[in-house]
Amino acid sequence: MIRESESAESYLRFLPEPWRSAAAGAVAESTWWAWPSSSDRPCGRVDVHVLRARRSAAPLRVLLLHGGGGHSALVWPVGAILAHEGFEVLALDLPQYGRTRVADRGRVRYRDWVDLVCDLATAETDDDPRPLVVFGASLGGMLAYEVADRTGRVAAVVATCLLDLAGDPDARRAVARTPALGRLTPLLPVLARVGVLARVRFPIRWVAPMSAMSLDPALAQACLDDRLGAGSSVSLGFLADLMTHPVRAPEEYRGPRVLLVHPAADSWTPPEVSVRFARRIAARTDIHLLTGCGHFPVEQPGVDELAAHLRALAADLVVGET
């Protein structure tokens, strides 16, 4: 039975102690941001839901991006860790997921995600001079990479995965639920050119191995039952755009430093796919594998390692600003 979306607080129960207790103090404030001029786009008006942990004294801010089948509440355990480590945090629901309101969901494309997050990063840095780190989980990792490259407004990128779906066949195979689906990927743009087919929606779990979201069966099931995330549907047009969207080659990357924190025990996306891309990036890139963590990194000792890497990044960035 499909349940209502898990709340940000309820997802915190999957963190190990002492992080679960520590993260409980990171209050998730629900806010909204109207994407400027979004009424002129094919998908129409977009009212973006954003969770925030405000820290006026924090020297750094983090924009947290979920991946496919995610939303802000799902990734809030990572947001709560960031808040506990002294960051101010904002996490949005990308169109089609969470509580973000879209005039025409069938017309949402991956390029809308890129444009929206670029505009949000620009708006946030216009209003606040503090350095902004963009942290992308799962497919959000490559989104963070592209936003940093395009905007020049980002102080650092943190990513759990770096998946070049358009340029790397191994990445495409990794995100598909079965090898057969992976081989059908080149047909998606052809099918999506048929207008009525592009708007057809189907459950995400039909095309992606959502049960591999976590090594913890209870967390994986909570994700599958979440009707605002992995338990929802996706349009063929969005999927085709996602799988064929080109990104700047890492050798030509124009953004800031990158911190890859790929879960070492990820049974969905092989760490070597992300590591291979990261090693080519033309900027300082630090690569760490989180010990014992699955795709959704909530296991020890990887959570401690993640916090330590974030702490070190913050120290470097703050020193660089002084």
Lowest mean pLDDT among 144-148, 162-166, 238-242, 278-282: 238-242
Q: Structurally, what CATH architecture does the domain formed by 8-315 represent?
A: 3-Layer(aba) Sandwich (3.40)
Are residues 102 and 44 in contact, defined by beta-carbon separation less than 8 angstroms?
Answer: yes
Answer with the residue of higher pLDDT: 3 or 40: 40
Q: How far is CA 272 from CA 154, 276, 283, 289, 309, in A?
A: 26, 6, 19, 10, 19
Report the SS3 class of residue 263: strand
- Residue 269's SS3 state is coil
Q: Per-residue pLDDT for 15 more than 70?
A: yes
pLDDT digits (tens, 9 = 90+) for 96-150: 999 999 988 888 999 999 999 999 999 999 989 999 999 999 999 999 999 999 9
pLDDT at 193: 58
Taking residues 290-311, report their average pLDDT.
Answer: 96
- State the Cα–Cα distance between residues 165 and 31, nearest whole angstrom: 32
How is residue 10 written in tokens? 């309820």
Q: Which amino acid is at 177?
A: R
Sign of the dihedral defined by the CA atoms of residues 284, 251, 302, 155, in that order = positive
- pLDDT, residue 13, reads 92
Contact 85, 311 (CB under 8 A): yes
Report the pLDDT value the prediction gives residue 3, as an integer from 0 to 100. Answer: 39
Residue 224 CA to residue 219 CA, distance in Å, equals 9
Peptide bond into 301 cis (omega under 30): yes
Q: What average pLDDT does the segment 243-254 reach? A: 94
pLDDT at 197: 67
pLDDT, tens digit, for every residue of 165-209? 989 988 888 887 555 455 556 656 656 555 656 777 777 777 777
**Dihedrals φ, ψ of 52, to 5°?**
-135, 140
**pLDDT at residue number 321:** 60
Average model confidence (pLDDT) across the chain: 88
Query: 62 is written with which tokens?
Result: 């983090």
The pLDDT value recorded for residue 186 is: 62
Q: What gap in Å lies between CA 90 and CA 76, rounded to an integer?
A: 9
Look up tokens 């020297």; give the residue: 59
What pTM does this model have? Answer: 0.92
Q: What is the DSSP string of 73-128?
A: TTTHHHHHHHHHTT-EEEEE--TTSTT-EES-GGG--HHHHHHHHHHHHHHHHHH-
pLDDT of residue 212: 85
Distance, CA of 250 to CA of 246 (rounded, Å) = 12
pLDDT, average across residues 269-280:
97
Lowest mean pLDDT among 45-59, 133-147, 202-216, 297-311: 202-216
Domain ranges (residues) in the chain: 8-315
**236-244 helix and 110-127 helix, angle to the nearest 10 degrees:** 70
The pLDDT of residue 227 is above 80: yes
At 25, the pLDDT band (50, 70, 90 cuts) reads: confident
